[in-house]
Structure 1
Amino acid sequence: MTFDFRQAGIATLKTELDAISQLEQYINKDFNNACKLILEAKGKVVVMGMGKSGHIGNKIAATLASTGTPSFFVHPGEASHGDLGMIEKGDVVLAISNSGEASEIITLLPVVKRRGITLITMTSNPSSTMARLAQINLCIKVPKEACPIGLAPTSSTTATLVMGDALAVALMQAKGFTADDFALSHPGGALGRKLLMRIADVMHSGDKLPKVSSNNTIRDALLEMSAKGLGMTAVVDDSDAVLGIFTDGDLRRLLDQRIDVHATEIGEVMGKKPTLIGPDMLAAEGLKLMEEKKINGLLVTDNDKLIGALNMHDLLKAGVM
C-alpha cells in the first residue's frame, strides 16, 4: 500500500490554518495593552523560550529588531548562569511557553519581577504559572496540533510565530516605521542594495561618461560609444546641458538609410527626448524606469547638467536586479 504523502500534507495545512484562524479572538485588549507596554518601554524586548518555543522566540526577536523594536533573544538556560545580566530595568521580557510551565523560565521570573522588569507571556493557558506572574498574557491556544499523535509542537508553534508577527507589525505601524528605516537595518544583500543604493553609486561619470557635441559627426559619436562601452552617448551643448542621446538602437535604424556617418552631424539624428534621472534617486527606481520605458540606459542630470550615465548592465552588476 502506497502512503498518500500529499493528503497528509494537505491535512497538516488545514489544521494549522484552523489554528491561525482561532487566534483572532486573542487579538484583544491584552494584545492592545501588550503593544502599549512595549511601545512605551525605554529599553529593549528580551525574548525567552525553551525548545521549539525558543526557536520561534529567536525568530520573533529578529522580526521585532528588523521592524524598529530593539529586541534580542536570551536562552533561559544561559540566563540562569549569567546572561540574566543582559536584561536591564526598562526592558520588557517576552517569555514564551505553550504550557506556561517551562521550569527554566519560571526559575528566572522572581528575579525579573524583583528588578521591576515588565513581563509579557505567550502561553496557551491563562491560568498557568507563567501567565499568572505576568502583567499580560497573550493567549496562543490552538484546537489541536497538526501532529497526528498530538505531541510534536506544530500548530502551536505556528500560532506563536503568527502572534509574534502580529505584535511586530502592529508596533512597526504605530512607530511609523518606513522603508528607509528598514533599509538602515538591512544594509547587506539584495534587499539592502535595492533600498539603499542610489543612482550616483552606480553611474559612470568623469572621463568614463560618454558625451559628444551636437556638431560632432556620427562617426565621432560611434568612437565615443566604443570607447566608453555603454551602448550610447549623450549629446550636450557647451555647458553640458543635455540636448539628446544616440544609442546602438539608433545606429541600427540609421544603417537602412545609408547616411554618411563621416559627414552627418549627430545633432541631426539624435533622439531629442532622452529619459533623464537624478543622482539621488534609488537605483531600483532607475531599473523600474528603464523597464517602463523599455530602454537600456539612462542619462543622469543635476540642475539640468549632465553628470552621469548608466545602463542595465550596471544595475545587474551592482546586484540591484
Structure 2
Amino acid sequence: MRRVSKLAAAVGTAAALALSATACGSTSTESSSSDSSDSAKKGKGIALAYDVGGRGDQSFNDAAYNGFEKAKKDFGIGGEDVEPSDGESDADKVQRLTDLARQGYNPVIGVGFAYAKPIEEVAEKFPKTTFGLIDDDTVKADNVANLVFSEEQGSYLAGVAAAKATKSKVVGFVGGVEVPLIKKFEAGFVQGVKDTDKSIQVKTQYLTQPPNMDGFSKPDLGKEAARGQLDADADVIYHAAGLAGQGVIEAVAAKDKWVIGVDSDQYEQKTLAKYKDSILTSMTKDVSGAVYNLVKSVQDGEPMSGESRFDLESGGVGLADSNPAFTEMTELQEAVKKAKEGIISGEIKVGTES
C-alpha cells in the first residue's frame, strides 16, 4: 500500500480557500454494483457525503465543502454533495456511498469517523474508486485514503490562549458527543490550560452520549451548556460541537465573554457575523485542504492511500488570527508562539486522552 506522508497536508493548505455555500446535494437510491468502466479511474467528479449536521454548520462540514468547491473549479470537474438524514444507520451510509461510486464519482469522500465501517465495506466492492475517510485511520485498503488530524495539538494552543485571556480563572469546554475524537480536543485543551496556569479551573461538558449524535446538530443543546458554564463564572469557552457549537457561540456573545471556535475560522463565517466580536480565535483544521489534495491526487493519476496526517507542523491544524483583539494580546501571542514551537520541536508532548 502506498503511504502518503504529512507533507501532502502542507500542499493543500495554501490551496484551500474559503468559498461561500450555495446548493446542497441529494442522496441517490440507485442499486449497488461493482466497478465496470474506465470512468472509475478519474470519474466524473468528486462526491462528498456529509457528517451529522450537514452543510451549513459553519464548521467541519462546511470546511469540507470549501475544498469540494475549490477542486471542482480548479480541475473543471463535476461533483455531488449529499446530506445525512436524522438517525440514519450504517446501512444508509453504505447505500449512499454505493450509489455515488456506481455513478462514477471518484473520489468518494465520507466526512467524519462515522463513515469508517461503511467505507470499508463499499471500498472492497469498488477497487478502482478512491475513497476518502476524514477523521479516522482504521480502514486499511489500497483504495482508501485516511485523512486524519492532530486535533489535540491545535486544541493545546486553544488552551494556552484561553488561559491567557481569562480574567475569572474559569474556562469551559463543550464537546458535542463524548467519542474518542472529541476527547482529543478536550485533552489538548485542558493540558494547554494547565501547562499555562495550573490554578485555572476547566469545566467540561458533553452534550450527548453515543449513539445519540444530537450533540453535533442541535444548537439549543450547545446554548444551554454554555449558559451553565457562564453562570459558573467561565469567561472563555472552547467548543467542539459542530452545528451545536453555534448555540455555544450565541450564548457566550450574549454575555460579552470569549468563545473559541472550531474546525473553520468561525470569526469569518457570515452566518456568525453578529457574534464575531466574541470569537477570540478558532482551532482550525485544514479539512478543505485534505479534500482538495485527495481530488488532486486522483486527477494526477496517483491517488492517495493509507494515512495522511495533518498536524501543527504541516499547518494542518492551528489557531486563526482573524480577530484583531486576538492579535493585540501580546502576552497571549508570545505564549501561543512558544507553545507551538515546543510542540513542533517535540519538547511538548500533547496527550490525546484526558
Per the TM superposition, whether the score is higher than 0.5 is no
Q: TM-score, normalised by structure 1?
A: 0.33
Larger Rg: 1
